[in-house]
Chains A and B, each alone.
Chain A
Protein backbone atom coordinates (compact mmCIF):
# COMPACT_ATOMS: atom_id res chain seq x y z
CA UNK A 1 0.00 0.00 0.00
CA UNK A 2 1.25 3.41 -0.86
CA UNK A 3 2.03 5.71 2.05
CA UNK A 4 0.90 8.75 0.08
CA UNK A 5 -2.01 10.53 1.71
CA UNK A 6 -5.21 9.29 0.19
CA UNK A 7 -7.68 11.59 -1.45
CA UNK A 8 -10.76 11.95 0.70
CA UNK A 9 -14.07 11.67 -1.08
CA UNK A 10 -17.49 12.32 0.40
CA UNK A 11 -20.75 11.58 -1.36
CA UNK A 12 -24.40 12.23 -0.71
CA UNK A 13 -27.77 11.96 -2.30
CA UNK A 14 -30.07 14.96 -1.81
CA UNK A 15 -33.30 15.01 -3.81
CA UNK A 16 -32.10 12.10 -5.92
CA UNK A 17 -32.87 8.43 -6.29
CA UNK A 18 -29.47 6.92 -5.43
CA UNK A 19 -29.26 5.92 -9.08
CA UNK A 20 -26.07 7.95 -9.44
CA UNK A 21 -24.56 6.14 -6.47
CA UNK A 22 -25.54 2.81 -7.96
CA UNK A 23 -23.91 3.79 -11.21
CA UNK A 24 -20.79 4.86 -9.34
CA UNK A 25 -20.59 1.41 -7.77
CA UNK A 26 -20.90 0.00 -11.28
CA UNK A 27 -17.26 0.81 -11.85
CA UNK A 28 -16.91 -2.78 -10.55
CA UNK A 29 -13.35 -3.95 -10.18
CA UNK A 30 -12.02 -0.52 -11.03
CA UNK A 31 -12.99 0.40 -7.49
CA UNK A 32 -10.03 -1.67 -6.29
CA UNK A 33 -7.62 0.56 -8.14
CA UNK A 34 -9.46 3.63 -7.00
CA UNK A 35 -9.45 2.60 -3.35
CA UNK A 36 -5.67 2.63 -3.43
CA UNK A 37 -5.78 6.38 -3.87
CA UNK A 38 -9.09 7.25 -2.32
CA UNK A 39 -10.76 6.92 1.03
CA UNK A 40 -14.37 7.66 1.70
CA UNK A 41 -15.57 10.19 4.22
CA UNK A 42 -19.30 10.81 4.67
CA UNK A 43 -21.17 8.64 2.23
CA UNK A 44 -24.21 6.38 2.13
CA UNK A 45 -21.74 3.65 1.17
CA UNK A 46 -20.25 3.61 4.67
CA UNK A 47 -22.92 5.39 6.67
CA UNK A 48 -20.50 8.00 8.06
CA UNK A 49 -22.81 10.85 9.07
CA UNK A 50 -20.64 13.93 8.64
CA UNK A 51 -17.90 15.08 6.35
CA UNK A 52 -14.34 15.30 7.56
CA UNK A 53 -13.54 18.97 7.59
CA UNK A 54 -10.79 18.49 5.04
CA UNK A 55 -12.35 16.41 2.34
CA UNK A 56 -10.94 16.75 -1.11
CA UNK A 57 -13.87 15.87 -3.28
CA UNK A 58 -17.62 15.97 -2.63
CA UNK A 59 -19.90 14.17 -5.04
CA UNK A 60 -23.46 15.45 -4.79
CA UNK A 61 -26.34 13.57 -6.28
CA UNK A 62 -29.79 15.13 -6.36
CA UNK A 63 -31.15 18.66 -6.23
CA UNK A 64 -32.55 20.63 -3.34
CA UNK A 65 -36.10 19.96 -2.32
CA UNK A 66 -36.06 20.70 1.41
CA UNK A 67 -34.25 22.53 4.18
CA UNK A 68 -32.21 19.51 5.14
CA UNK A 69 -30.83 19.22 1.59
CA UNK A 70 -29.62 22.78 1.94
CA UNK A 71 -27.89 22.06 5.26
CA UNK A 72 -26.16 18.99 3.87
CA UNK A 73 -25.10 20.81 0.74
CA UNK A 74 -23.62 23.63 2.79
CA UNK A 75 -21.74 21.14 4.97
CA UNK A 76 -20.28 19.61 1.86
CA UNK A 77 -19.28 22.95 0.44
CA UNK A 78 -17.59 23.91 3.68
CA UNK A 79 -15.78 20.58 4.00
CA UNK A 80 -14.79 19.76 0.44
CA UNK A 81 -12.22 21.48 -1.71
CA UNK A 82 -13.99 20.36 -4.86
CA UNK A 83 -17.73 19.93 -5.31
CA UNK A 84 -19.01 17.92 -8.23
CA UNK A 85 -22.67 18.04 -9.17
CA UNK A 86 -23.50 14.50 -10.20
CA UNK A 87 -26.46 13.63 -12.39
CA UNK A 88 -29.42 15.40 -13.91
CA UNK A 89 -31.12 16.23 -10.59
CA UNK A 90 -28.12 17.97 -9.05
CA UNK A 91 -27.56 19.83 -12.31
CA UNK A 92 -31.04 21.09 -13.16
CA UNK A 93 -33.41 19.65 -10.58
CA UNK A 94 -34.27 16.67 -12.74
CA UNK A 95 -37.40 14.66 -12.34
CA UNK A 96 -38.14 15.96 -8.79
CA UNK A 97 -38.23 19.47 -10.26
CA UNK A 98 -41.23 18.49 -12.34
CA UNK A 99 -43.22 19.36 -9.25
CA UNK A 100 -42.27 22.99 -9.88
CA UNK A 101 -45.24 23.13 -12.20
CA UNK A 102 -47.45 23.11 -9.15
CA UNK A 103 -47.59 24.96 -5.88
CA UNK A 104 -46.38 23.13 -2.83
CA UNK A 105 -49.91 23.02 -1.53
CA UNK A 106 -51.15 21.35 -4.71
CA UNK A 107 -48.34 18.78 -4.52
CA UNK A 108 -49.00 17.91 -0.90
CA UNK A 109 -52.73 17.71 -1.39
CA UNK A 110 -52.31 15.44 -4.37
CA UNK A 111 -49.83 13.21 -2.55
CA UNK A 112 -51.48 13.01 0.85
CA UNK A 113 -55.12 13.99 0.49
CA UNK A 114 -56.66 13.71 -2.94
CA UNK A 115 -54.45 11.30 -4.83
CA UNK A 116 -55.64 7.92 -5.99
CA UNK A 117 -55.18 5.22 -3.37
CA UNK A 118 -54.49 7.53 -0.44
CA UNK A 119 -55.40 5.98 2.88
CA UNK A 120 -55.60 8.06 6.05
CA UNK A 121 -55.57 11.35 4.18
CA UNK A 122 -53.38 13.72 6.17
CA UNK A 123 -50.47 15.98 5.26
CA UNK A 124 -47.56 14.87 7.47
CA UNK A 125 -46.46 17.60 9.82
CA UNK A 126 -43.82 17.21 12.49
CA UNK A 127 -40.93 19.33 13.72
CA UNK A 128 -38.71 16.39 12.85
CA UNK A 129 -39.63 16.71 9.21
CA UNK A 130 -37.57 19.11 7.13
CA UNK A 131 -39.70 21.77 5.47
CA UNK A 132 -40.01 21.63 1.71
CA UNK A 133 -38.71 24.42 -0.49
CA UNK A 134 -41.39 26.02 -2.62
CA UNK A 135 -39.48 24.79 -5.67
CA UNK A 136 -36.84 22.15 -6.29
CA UNK A 137 -33.54 23.77 -7.26
CA UNK A 138 -30.26 22.55 -8.74
CA UNK A 139 -27.34 22.78 -6.34
CA UNK A 140 -25.37 25.41 -8.26
CA UNK A 141 -28.04 27.94 -7.35
CA UNK A 142 -27.01 27.70 -3.70
CA UNK A 143 -23.29 26.91 -3.60
CA UNK A 144 -20.40 27.23 -5.98
CA UNK A 145 -20.00 24.02 -7.96
CA UNK A 146 -16.62 23.14 -9.41
CA UNK A 147 -17.48 20.42 -11.88
CA UNK A 148 -20.51 18.80 -13.45
CA UNK A 149 -21.03 15.17 -14.26
CA UNK A 150 -24.23 14.92 -16.29
CA UNK A 151 -26.30 11.83 -16.96
CA UNK A 152 -29.28 10.06 -15.47
CA UNK A 153 -27.27 8.42 -14.14
CA UNK A 154 -23.80 9.29 -15.40
CA UNK A 155 -22.18 6.09 -16.65
CA UNK A 156 -19.66 4.40 -14.41
CA UNK A 157 -16.88 5.28 -16.85
CA UNK A 158 -17.74 8.92 -16.45
CA UNK A 159 -17.24 8.75 -12.69
CA UNK A 160 -13.98 6.95 -13.20
CA UNK A 161 -12.80 9.39 -15.83
CA UNK A 162 -13.53 12.49 -13.76
CA UNK A 163 -12.02 11.06 -10.58
CA UNK A 164 -8.96 9.76 -12.39
CA UNK A 165 -8.43 13.12 -14.03
CA UNK A 166 -8.65 14.83 -10.65
CA UNK A 167 -6.33 12.30 -9.02
CA UNK A 168 -3.85 12.98 -11.78
CA UNK A 169 -4.17 16.68 -11.17
CA UNK A 170 -5.84 17.33 -14.54
CA UNK A 171 -8.92 19.36 -15.44
CA UNK A 172 -11.64 16.74 -15.65
CA UNK A 173 -13.10 16.28 -19.10
CA UNK A 174 -15.65 13.90 -20.50
CA UNK A 175 -15.14 12.29 -23.89
CA UNK A 176 -18.15 12.88 -26.14
CA UNK A 177 -19.03 9.15 -26.18
CA UNK A 178 -19.89 9.19 -22.50
CA UNK A 179 -21.45 12.65 -22.38
CA UNK A 180 -25.20 12.33 -22.21
CA UNK A 181 -28.05 13.84 -20.23
CA UNK A 182 -30.19 10.73 -19.93
Chain B
Protein backbone atom coordinates (compact mmCIF):
# COMPACT_ATOMS: atom_id res chain seq x y z
CA UNK B 1 0.00 0.00 0.00
CA UNK B 2 1.35 3.40 -0.90
CA UNK B 3 1.96 5.96 1.79
CA UNK B 4 -1.09 8.09 2.34
CA UNK B 5 -0.28 11.55 1.06
CA UNK B 6 -1.56 14.67 2.72
CA UNK B 7 -5.16 14.57 1.62
CA UNK B 8 -6.04 10.93 1.51
CA UNK B 9 -7.49 8.42 3.86
CA UNK B 10 -7.41 4.67 3.54
CA UNK B 11 -10.65 2.73 3.52
CA UNK B 12 -10.29 -1.04 3.62
CA UNK B 13 -6.82 -0.79 2.19
CA UNK B 14 -7.77 1.58 -0.59
CA UNK B 15 -6.37 5.07 -0.67
CA UNK B 16 -8.96 7.69 -1.45
CA UNK B 17 -8.70 11.47 -1.64
CA UNK B 18 -10.63 13.93 0.46
CA UNK B 19 -10.95 17.67 0.57
CA UNK B 20 -10.93 19.82 3.65
CA UNK B 21 -14.26 19.77 5.44
CA UNK B 22 -15.37 16.39 4.10
CA UNK B 23 -16.39 13.67 6.45
CA UNK B 24 -15.30 10.08 5.97
CA UNK B 25 -18.75 9.43 4.51
CA UNK B 26 -18.40 12.29 2.00
CA UNK B 27 -15.03 11.04 0.88
CA UNK B 28 -16.25 7.45 0.63
CA UNK B 29 -19.35 8.31 -1.38
CA UNK B 30 -17.30 10.50 -3.71
CA UNK B 31 -15.06 7.49 -4.32
CA UNK B 32 -18.07 5.21 -4.91
CA UNK B 33 -17.44 3.32 -1.69
CA UNK B 34 -20.62 2.35 0.09
CA UNK B 35 -20.79 2.80 3.82
CA UNK B 36 -24.25 1.80 5.06
CA UNK B 37 -26.20 4.76 6.35
CA UNK B 38 -29.74 5.70 7.22
CA UNK B 39 -29.75 9.10 8.89
CA UNK B 40 -27.42 10.62 6.34
CA UNK B 41 -28.30 12.25 3.03
CA UNK B 42 -25.79 14.30 1.09
CA UNK B 43 -26.79 17.92 1.22
CA UNK B 44 -28.23 17.82 4.72
CA UNK B 45 -26.21 18.49 7.84
CA UNK B 46 -24.69 15.30 9.24
CA UNK B 47 -26.55 13.91 12.21
CA UNK B 48 -24.89 10.77 13.52
CA UNK B 49 -27.79 9.07 15.23
CA UNK B 50 -28.53 5.78 13.47
CA UNK B 51 -24.96 4.45 13.79
CA UNK B 52 -25.33 2.31 10.68
CA UNK B 53 -22.25 4.05 9.32
CA UNK B 54 -20.16 2.83 12.22
CA UNK B 55 -16.60 2.27 11.06
CA UNK B 56 -13.33 1.73 12.82
CA UNK B 57 -10.83 4.53 12.42
CA UNK B 58 -7.38 3.48 13.48
CA UNK B 59 -9.03 0.87 15.65
CA UNK B 60 -11.55 3.19 17.26
CA UNK B 61 -15.26 3.09 16.63
CA UNK B 62 -16.60 6.19 14.87
CA UNK B 63 -19.52 7.42 12.79
CA UNK B 64 -18.38 7.92 9.22
CA UNK B 65 -21.08 10.51 8.55
CA UNK B 66 -19.87 12.92 11.23
CA UNK B 67 -16.15 12.32 11.64
CA UNK B 68 -14.12 14.77 9.57
CA UNK B 69 -11.71 13.03 7.25
CA UNK B 70 -8.09 13.60 8.23
CA UNK B 71 -4.94 12.31 6.68
CA UNK B 72 -3.50 9.28 8.40
CA UNK B 73 -6.89 7.73 9.03
CA UNK B 74 -7.08 4.04 8.32
CA UNK B 75 -10.72 3.13 8.11
CA UNK B 76 -12.21 -0.35 8.29
CA UNK B 77 -15.59 -0.44 6.64
CA UNK B 78 -16.55 -3.57 4.80
CA UNK B 79 -15.50 -6.15 7.38
CA UNK B 80 -17.36 -9.14 8.71
CA UNK B 81 -17.33 -7.77 12.23
CA UNK B 82 -18.79 -4.42 11.19
CA UNK B 83 -21.42 -6.08 9.03
CA UNK B 84 -22.46 -8.03 12.10
CA UNK B 85 -22.62 -4.84 14.21
CA UNK B 86 -24.65 -3.04 11.54
CA UNK B 87 -26.98 -5.97 11.14
CA UNK B 88 -27.61 -5.99 14.87
CA UNK B 89 -28.29 -2.23 14.86
CA UNK B 90 -30.69 -2.70 11.94
CA UNK B 91 -32.48 -5.46 13.83
CA UNK B 92 -32.75 -3.10 16.80
CA UNK B 93 -34.44 -0.53 14.53
CA UNK B 94 -36.85 -3.13 13.22
CA UNK B 95 -37.99 -4.48 16.59
CA UNK B 96 -38.24 -1.02 18.11
CA UNK B 97 -40.95 0.00 15.68
CA UNK B 98 -43.73 -1.82 13.89
CA UNK B 99 -42.42 -2.92 10.53
CA UNK B 100 -44.85 -5.13 8.68
CA UNK B 101 -43.31 -4.85 5.23
CA UNK B 102 -46.00 -6.84 3.37
CA UNK B 103 -48.57 -4.21 4.28
CA UNK B 104 -46.35 -1.16 3.91
CA UNK B 105 -46.64 1.15 0.92
CA UNK B 106 -42.91 1.74 1.03
CA UNK B 107 -41.92 -1.86 0.56
CA UNK B 108 -39.53 -2.27 -2.31
CA UNK B 109 -38.61 1.40 -2.15
CA UNK B 110 -37.60 1.45 1.51
CA UNK B 111 -34.02 2.24 2.43
CA UNK B 112 -34.22 0.52 5.81
CA UNK B 113 -35.40 -2.64 4.12
CA UNK B 114 -32.73 -2.36 1.44
CA UNK B 115 -30.02 -1.88 4.04
CA UNK B 116 -31.33 -4.95 5.85
CA UNK B 117 -31.15 -6.96 2.62
CA UNK B 118 -27.65 -5.70 2.06
CA UNK B 119 -26.66 -6.94 5.52
CA UNK B 120 -28.34 -10.32 4.95
CA UNK B 121 -30.73 -9.75 7.79
CA UNK B 122 -33.27 -12.55 7.91
CA UNK B 123 -35.09 -11.75 11.13
CA UNK B 124 -35.48 -9.15 13.86
CA UNK B 125 -33.74 -11.42 16.34
CA UNK B 126 -34.81 -9.50 19.44
CA UNK B 127 -38.21 -9.57 21.10
CA UNK B 128 -40.55 -7.11 19.41
CA UNK B 129 -41.30 -3.88 21.31
CA UNK B 130 -44.67 -3.44 19.58
CA UNK B 131 -44.95 0.22 20.58
CA UNK B 132 -48.26 1.98 20.21
CA UNK B 133 -47.69 5.00 18.03
CA UNK B 134 -50.16 7.36 16.44
CA UNK B 135 -50.96 7.71 12.78
CA UNK B 136 -51.62 11.25 11.55
CA UNK B 137 -53.79 11.18 8.43
CA UNK B 138 -55.11 14.70 8.90
CA UNK B 139 -53.30 16.22 5.93
CA UNK B 140 -55.06 15.98 2.60
CA UNK B 141 -52.11 14.57 0.74
CA UNK B 142 -49.48 13.44 3.26
CA UNK B 143 -49.80 10.75 5.88
CA UNK B 144 -47.57 10.20 8.89
CA UNK B 145 -47.36 6.62 10.14
CA UNK B 146 -45.14 6.75 13.19
CA UNK B 147 -45.01 2.95 13.50
CA UNK B 148 -42.25 2.92 10.92
CA UNK B 149 -40.32 5.99 12.05
CA UNK B 150 -36.69 5.28 12.85
CA UNK B 151 -36.00 8.72 14.34
CA UNK B 152 -33.42 9.58 11.68
CA UNK B 153 -34.56 13.22 11.63
CA UNK B 154 -34.07 13.50 7.87
CA UNK B 155 -37.51 15.08 7.63
CA UNK B 156 -36.69 17.40 10.52
CA UNK B 157 -33.55 18.63 8.82
CA UNK B 158 -35.02 18.73 5.30
CA UNK B 159 -37.86 20.90 6.51
CA UNK B 160 -35.56 23.31 8.33
CA UNK B 161 -32.58 23.39 6.03
CA UNK B 162 -34.07 23.01 2.59
CA UNK B 163 -37.78 23.81 2.78
CA UNK B 164 -37.22 26.75 5.09
CA UNK B 165 -39.99 25.52 7.37
CA UNK B 166 -39.96 23.77 10.69
CA UNK B 167 -42.59 21.10 10.38
CA UNK B 168 -41.10 18.20 12.34
CA UNK B 169 -39.27 17.57 15.60
CA UNK B 170 -38.44 14.69 17.87
CA UNK B 171 -39.84 14.76 21.36
CA UNK B 172 -39.52 12.58 24.42
CA UNK B 173 -36.59 10.66 25.80
CA UNK B 174 -35.07 7.22 25.36
CA UNK B 175 -37.34 4.58 23.82
CA UNK B 176 -40.23 6.98 24.28
CA UNK B 177 -38.76 9.37 21.73
CA UNK B 178 -41.15 10.08 18.90
CA UNK B 179 -41.71 12.32 15.94
CA UNK B 180 -44.00 15.31 16.48
CA UNK B 181 -45.42 17.95 14.24
CA UNK B 182 -44.89 21.62 14.91
CA UNK B 183 -48.41 22.97 15.21
CA UNK B 184 -50.71 23.79 18.08
CA UNK B 185 -52.91 20.80 17.31
CA UNK B 186 -49.90 18.61 16.65
CA UNK B 187 -51.50 17.65 13.35
CA UNK B 188 -49.89 17.74 9.95
CA UNK B 189 -52.96 19.42 8.44
CA UNK B 190 -52.20 22.49 10.54
CA UNK B 191 -48.69 22.96 9.19
CA UNK B 192 -47.52 24.57 5.98
CA UNK B 193 -46.03 21.35 4.60
CA UNK B 194 -46.80 20.63 0.95
CA UNK B 195 -46.02 17.76 -1.37
CA UNK B 196 -43.39 19.97 -2.99
CA UNK B 197 -41.35 19.95 0.20
CA UNK B 198 -38.27 17.80 0.45
CA UNK B 199 -39.50 16.80 3.89
CA UNK B 200 -42.50 15.12 2.30
CA UNK B 201 -40.29 12.80 0.24
CA UNK B 202 -37.10 12.27 2.14
CA UNK B 203 -38.28 9.73 4.69
CA UNK B 204 -36.14 6.61 4.17
CA UNK B 205 -38.93 4.41 5.47
CA UNK B 206 -42.69 4.34 5.13
CA UNK B 207 -43.37 6.87 7.88
CA UNK B 208 -44.07 9.88 5.70
CA UNK B 209 -46.04 8.92 2.61
CA UNK B 210 -47.84 10.74 -0.15
CA UNK B 211 -51.48 9.75 -0.13
CA UNK B 212 -53.06 7.91 -3.02
CA UNK B 213 -49.76 6.82 -4.49
CA UNK B 214 -49.28 3.54 -2.63
CA UNK B 215 -48.32 0.41 -4.56
CA UNK B 216 -48.14 2.34 -7.81
CA UNK B 217 -45.07 0.60 -9.08
CA UNK B 218 -45.52 -3.06 -9.84
CA UNK B 219 -43.34 -5.58 -8.07
CA UNK B 220 -40.25 -6.06 -10.14
CA UNK B 221 -39.94 -2.37 -11.01
CA UNK B 222 -39.58 -0.86 -7.55
CA UNK B 223 -36.30 0.82 -6.57
CA UNK B 224 -34.77 -2.14 -4.86
CA UNK B 225 -36.08 -4.66 -7.33
CA UNK B 226 -33.85 -2.88 -9.82
CA UNK B 227 -30.99 -1.71 -7.62
CA UNK B 228 -29.11 -2.66 -4.52
CA UNK B 229 -28.54 -0.08 -1.85
CA UNK B 230 -24.78 -0.35 -2.22
CA UNK B 231 -24.83 0.86 -5.82
CA UNK B 232 -22.90 4.08 -6.30
CA UNK B 233 -24.94 7.18 -7.00
CA UNK B 234 -28.23 5.75 -5.85
CA UNK B 235 -29.24 8.67 -3.60
CA UNK B 236 -30.78 10.73 -6.42
CA UNK B 237 -32.64 7.68 -7.68
CA UNK B 238 -34.14 7.01 -4.26
CA UNK B 239 -35.21 10.60 -3.91
CA UNK B 240 -36.56 10.91 -7.42
CA UNK B 241 -38.55 7.75 -7.01
CA UNK B 242 -39.81 9.06 -3.71
CA UNK B 243 -41.34 11.91 -5.66
CA UNK B 244 -42.44 10.12 -8.79
CA UNK B 245 -43.06 6.53 -8.03
CA UNK B 246 -43.50 5.56 -11.67
CA UNK B 247 -40.14 6.90 -12.73
CA UNK B 248 -37.16 4.61 -12.89
Contact = CB atoms under 8 A, between A and B. Distances in A.
A174 B102 CA distance: 19
A34 interface: no
Nearest to A93: B128
Given A88-B100, A91-B123, A98-B100, A182 B108 contact: yes
B102 to A, nearest CB: 4
Contacts of B94: 92
A85 B123 CA distance: 9
Contacts of B60: none
A138 interface: yes
B interface bracket (residues with beta carbon within 8 Å of A): 20 to 34
Contact of A94 (B100, B117, B125): B100
Given A100-B130, A135-B130, A182 B123 contact: no
Contacts of B117: 176, 179-180
B102 A137 contact: no
A100 B98 CA distance: 10
A28 to B, nearest CB: 20
Contact of B123 (A94, A150, A152): A150
B149 to A, nearest CB: 15
B107 interface: yes
B99 interface: yes
Contacts, number: 72
B132 interface: yes
Contacts of B99: 92
Given A85-B123, A92-B99, A150-B123, A182 B107 contact: yes
B71 interface: no
A126 to B, nearest CB: 28
Contacts of B104: 182
A141 interface: yes
Interface string A157-182: 00000000000000000101001111
A176 B113 CA distance: 12
A96 to B, nearest CB: 9
A9 to B, nearest CB: 20
Most buried by A among B95, B99, B128: B128
Nearest to B103: A95
B102 A95 contact: yes
A135 B98 CA distance: 13
Contacts of B228: 176
B128 A98 contact: no
B122 interface: yes
B113 A181 contact: yes
Nearest to B125: A140
| Closest 7 A/B residue pairs (Cβ) | A152-B102, A181-B101, A148-B122, A148-B123, A182-B107, A100-B130, A182-B101
Interface of A: 85, 88, 91-95, 97-98, 100-101, 135, 137-138, 140-141, 145, 147-150, 152, 174, 176, 179-182
Interface of B: 94-95, 98-104, 107-108, 113, 116-117, 120, 122-125, 127-128, 130, 132, 219, 228
